[in-house]
Amino acid sequence: MSIRRLPEHLVNRIAAGEVVERPASALKELVENAIDAGATRIAVKLAGGGTDLIEVTDDGCGMSPPEMALALERHATSKLPDDEIDQVSTLGFRGEALPSIASVARMTLESRVRGAEGWSRVVDNGALISEGPAALPPGTRVRVEQLFGRVPARRKFLRSARAEYAASLDVMKRLAMARPDIAFSVEHDGRKALQVQGGETGPERVAVLTDRALAENSVAIDFEREGLVLGGVAGLPTFNRGVADHQYLFVNGRPVKDRLLIGALRGAYAEMLARDRHPVVALFLQVPADQVDVNVHPAKTEVRFRDPALVRGMIVSGLRRALDEAGHRSVQRPSEAALGMWTSEPAAPPAPQLWDAEPAYAPASQPHYNYASVQDRRPSFSAPPPLARAEPAIQPVPHSVRHPLGVARGQVAKTYIVAEAEDGLVLVDQHAAHERLVLERMRRAMAEGGVASQGLLVPEVVELDEPGCDRLEARASELSEFGLDLERFGPRAMLVRAVPAALGKGDVHALVTDLADELASFDEALSLKEKLDHVAATMACHGSVRAGRVLSVAEMNALLREMEVTPHSGQCNHGRPTWVKLAHGDIEKLFGRK
């Protein structure tokens, strides 16, 4: 078989396979062209998830008829005037999108330059059908119909219309976040799906497009290092999601999905989130053009950095610093489901006790009463003692600026501290909070040279399997820097002589067993200092105040004061919140006062 040059229409279809994977890909290319044209308003109409119709209208600079003809040819673009591909500042630059889309769909391209007449060109699956004058305001309108209509092999691999619409909407959200100065609107099957106004700030646009609660449950990012600038917003660790779909990353204004950046996010939130939870973030990274290569993927969704380690370290450091400054902050407002548990609802009257004068039955005509979900019941001789205790409110409520978590007023179920703040009621999970405090103490101690140890009066023997003992023995010198002094005691046992002083009277057997399991998942080439958070978190969990322990008011207040000055104290080592607040307004709603 001889080598031959492929015909133009086939070349375009091959290119379409690289650039136009699905309707969302075509939409992305068209909207990026509108942004590069200097548009201030971009309107998108979709039908059938984008497979039946994609229409993008902008008020950009527009094109003249000769430029429109040239734009439908491959590798024709206005975005590389000096051939410096490593200095690209626009979203598009390859010149493949329009001819590729036109080769697998019916495309109507209409454009008008200010001060001139409009023009239209219709291309049906690569063939020019018609062209002529068109009436439209200054700008460009691109209409794509029946995408892959004549390529059944490609169309049958598309997902449902609903799934394709979701992908298209996600593309629009990312592009809208990248340019808060531009107004965007999206209409699907005649229904308005998205609309944002131009001139917004970055955090405002991110909150509108993700979750409006993000504005009050996030920290601002503003970090610079060696010519790189990192900005954006990052949700508090307690403001998280079950999927990673709420992570938006932009490099020089370009939405990207990069493994390096995603890995940096995981590193920044390590030990602050449970493994199955994901942060809500929108990061905007500005990198000198000669430090990043955007020409590594046909769809331009991936980038390559000249110094990946610098970028990753900057993201981790910037996020960590911002989260450290957040201090004790947590998602303060409980969920609506939790508040709903307190609302009044119809309930049966309490059963009468033995000494009640009323009969055990009620007449049929007796009206029904509403009882609160949390009811005051009459005491009975068989009832268990209450699980909560309150202290006299002797101490005045402190000023919220000085003590945001207030003063302790009592303890519930030997697990939760009830505190009164100036602006509401604070509930604290004592075990989760103290676990975070112990972890941060150990981090500080390690940064200052090592963790202080407390010798055991009687060394404790911990029996393990032989591989577990081997792992601990190999790491014994490193564990001693954490304050844990242990040595081999036979083939299947370890002798513990000292434990970290910060842990107090913890369960030594459980601590050593868990550490042996943790070491099994570590790379032998890594030192424990590189896994500091994992080791310290394991130790902190065993050294924290347990649920079920009765605390004095002084102990509770000491815990609250330390939380207020400790970084990340708003969430435990597993990502769960350590405290929540019922604002005065929420309490008034529960009692029908508001």
DSSP codes of every residue in 257-326:
--HHHHHHHHHHTTTTS-TT-EE-EEEEEE--GGGEE-TTSTT----EESSHHHHHHHHHHHHHHHHHHT
* Sign of the C-alpha dihedral computed for residues 33, 37, 38 and 40 taken in this order: negative
Tokens of 293: 């290569």
* Sign of the C-alpha dihedral computed for residues 77, 81, 83 and 86 taken in this order: negative
3-state secondary structure of 205: helix
Q: Whole-model pTM?
A: 0.62
- Residue 568 contacts residue 323 (beta carbons within 8 Å): yes
Residue 133 φ then ψ, to 5°: -65, 155
Q: How far apart are CA 577 and CA 563, in angstroms?
A: 12
Max Cα–Cα distance, the chain, nearest Å: 106
pLDDT of residue 86: 59
How many residues in the chain? 594
pLDDT of residue 396: 65
Give 360's DSSP letter.
Answer: S
In a 13 Å sphere around the CA of 271, the CA atoms on its Cβ side amount to 22
- Residue 387 contacts residue 412 (beta carbons within 8 Å): yes
- Residue 509: CB atoms within 10 A of its CB come to 15
Q: Pick from 270, 273, 278, 262: which is nearest to 311 by CA?
A: 262
Q: How far apart are CA 22 and CA 285, in angstroms?
A: 27
Please name the residue ranges forming H helices in 85-238: 97-102, 152-155, 161-178, 202-209
Q: Pick from 278, 288, 283, 287: which is nearest to 322 by CA?
A: 283
pLDDT of residue 28: 92
> In this structure, what is the dihedral angle of CA atoms 465, 469, 471, 474, given to the nearest 10 degrees?
-160
Residue corresponding to tokens 């969704």: 301
Residue 72 φ then ψ, to 5°: -90, 5
3-state secondary structure of 52: coil
- Residue 470: CB atoms within 10 A of its CB come to 15
Q: Pick from 237, 236, 257: which is nearest to 247 by CA?
A: 257
pLDDT of residue 371: 39
- Residue 319: CB atoms within 10 A of its CB come to 24
Q: Measured between alpha carbons, how far apart are the two ends of the chain, in Å?
A: 83
**Cβ neighbours for 568, distance < 8 A, ≥ 6 positions apart:** 237, 272, 323, 324, 326, 327, 436, 440
Q: For the chain, which residues score pLDDT lower than 50? A: 343, 345-350, 352-383, 523, 525-527, 530
3-state secondary structure of 108: strand
Residue corresponding to tokens 């100065």: 181
- Residue 461 contacts residue 494 (beta carbons within 8 Å): yes
3-state secondary structure of 102: helix
Query: Left (φ > 0), alpha (ψ -120 to 50) or beta: where does 424 sit?
Result: left
Q: Pick from 409, 448, 444: which is nearest to 426 by CA?
A: 409
Tokens of 70: 């040239």
Q: How far apart are CA 544 and CA 436, in angstroms?
A: 8
Q: How far apart are CA 164 and CA 166, in angstroms?
A: 5
- Residue 192: CB atoms within 10 A of its CB come to 9
